[in-house]
Structure formats: C-alpha cells, structure tokens
C-alpha cells in the first residue's frame, strides 16, 4: 500500500516501530474506513484484524482533543483489552495522544478518574465500558469511531446487551466490527440496528 494514504507523522511512527506494509485484507479495511462507511470485517485468526485496529484508530484520531474520547474499542476479554492497550501505547506516546484501559479486573473508581483527566482513545471490556458509561464516566459527544473486536465472542459471552445499550445512545459515528466467520442471530440483529454496513471477508 502507498504510504501516501496515511498522514506523514503516522507513517514515521509506524516505520520506526517496524511496520512496513498492510496485507490485502488490512488495506481493504483501511480504504473503506477512509470513506466513512461502517465495516464488518470477517476473517480467520491471524489475518490481521487486531493490527488493523491500531492504524485505523491512529489515522482517524489525528490530534489531541479536549478531553472526550473520540475512539472506543471493545475487546472480548481482559487480556485482549490489555494486549491491545499495550500495543496502542507504543504509538500514542509519539503522537501526543492519550489511551486509557478500562476492564473488569481494574479498580473502577481509578479508571473513572483516569477518564475524567481526558483521553482520546478508550480500550476496554464491554461490561466495564457500560458500567462507566451509565455512571457518566465518559462523554460520547465527540466520538468518531466505535470498534468491536472479536464480536462473535463478545456476543457468546453474553455481552451483546452491554454493547447494544452503549451504541443505542451514541451520536452518529463510524463502526468497525471485527470477527471470525459466524452464524449468530443476536449479532446479526445488532448489525441490522447499526444501519448500512459494508462487509469484507478474508
């Protein structure tokens, strides 16, 4: 993929961290994300779904904000949230962006206080994201993108209700749903409620 599609300061950070190119699946996601459409990206493990979160979020969130998050990423487990947070931190430091982690193992009061200090990106588990949301722990008024990683697993874990309740109250924003191939009525109904969504398969 041509680096001309990515802003120069992000290219510099990506190359410095050893990221040299996207695969075909990742590039397809990136191109549609740039268009502003919602995406359902369906692929097997190891095809690069999680890595695509990193560069799409960092391309979408170009400058520090005024405190309200502009990207929320829901992960299927505490460990997956921690791993994605750690990966994003490698890049956000150099781009003057703030990323916060909220998951079920952490202290909710501390997590809420951290969010009050201001953040551009929140990575968390669906239950904790919902708990903090109903406590007014963060404002979604400036939200640009909502990402659900490993969506089918989140619904199998019974967290579809938390995702639904959060997304029902969101302003107009872009959705990126990543999942392994699935057949699940609850997830399909959720996708229908989001609205028009373009599907990519690997």
Average pLDDT over residues 44-68: 83
For 124, counting Cβ atoms within 10 Å of its Cβ (0-12 exposed, 13-18 middle, 19+ buried), the class is: buried
Q: Domains plus CATH for the chain?
A: 24-182+189-201 (3.40.50.300)
Confidence of residue 1 (pLDDT cuts 50, 70, 90): low
CA dihedral 55, 22, 51, 119 (to 10 degrees): 0
Average pLDDT over residues 176-192: 90
Residue 132 and residue 108 in contact, taking contact as beta carbons nearer than 8 Å: yes
What are the distances in angstroms from CA 113 to CA 77, 90, 148, 171? 22, 23, 24, 23
Residue 53 and residue 74 in contact, taking contact as beta carbons nearer than 8 Å: no
Residue 165 pLDDT > 80 = yes
Q: How far apart are CA 51 and CA 132, in angstroms?
A: 26
- Answer with the residue of higher pLDDT: 9 or 166: 166
Kindly report whether the global pTM for this prediction surpasses the value 0.85. yes
Q: How far apart are CA 33 and CA 51, in angstroms?
A: 14
Quickly count: other Cβ atoms within 10 Å of residue 93's Cβ. 12
pLDDT value, residue 59: 87
Phi and psi at 154, nearest 5°, equal -65, -40
Residues 6 or more apart in contact with residue 15 via CB below 8 angstroms: none
Using one digit for the tens of pLDDT, what is the confidence trace for 126-160?
Answer: 999 999 999 999 999 999 999 999 999 999 999 99
């Amino acid at each position: 993929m041509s680096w001309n599609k990515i802003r120069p300061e992000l290219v510099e950070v990506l190359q410095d961290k050893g990221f040299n190119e996207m695969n075909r699946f990742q590039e397809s996601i990136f191109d549609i994300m740039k268009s502003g459409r919602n995406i359902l990206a369906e692929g097997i493990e190891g095809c690069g779904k999680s890595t695509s979160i990193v560069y799409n979020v960092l391309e979408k969130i170009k400058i520090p904000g005024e405190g309200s998050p502009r990207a929320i990423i829901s992960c299927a487990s505490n460990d997956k949230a921690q791993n994605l947070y750690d990966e994003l931190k490698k890049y956000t430091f150099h781009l003057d962006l703030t990323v916060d982690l909220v998951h079920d193992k952490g202290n909710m009061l501390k997590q809420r206080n951290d969010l009050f200090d201001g953040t551009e990106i929140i990575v968390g588990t669906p239950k904790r994201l919902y708990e903090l949301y109903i406590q007014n722990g963060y404002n979604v008024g400036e939200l640009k993108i909502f990402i659900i990683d490993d969506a089918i697993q989140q619904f199998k874990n019974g967290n579809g209700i938390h995702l639904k309740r959060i997304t029902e109250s969101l302003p107009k924003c872009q959705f990126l749903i990543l999942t392994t191939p699935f057949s699940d009525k609850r997830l399909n109904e959720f996708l229908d409620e989001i609205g028009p969504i373009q599907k990519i398969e690997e």
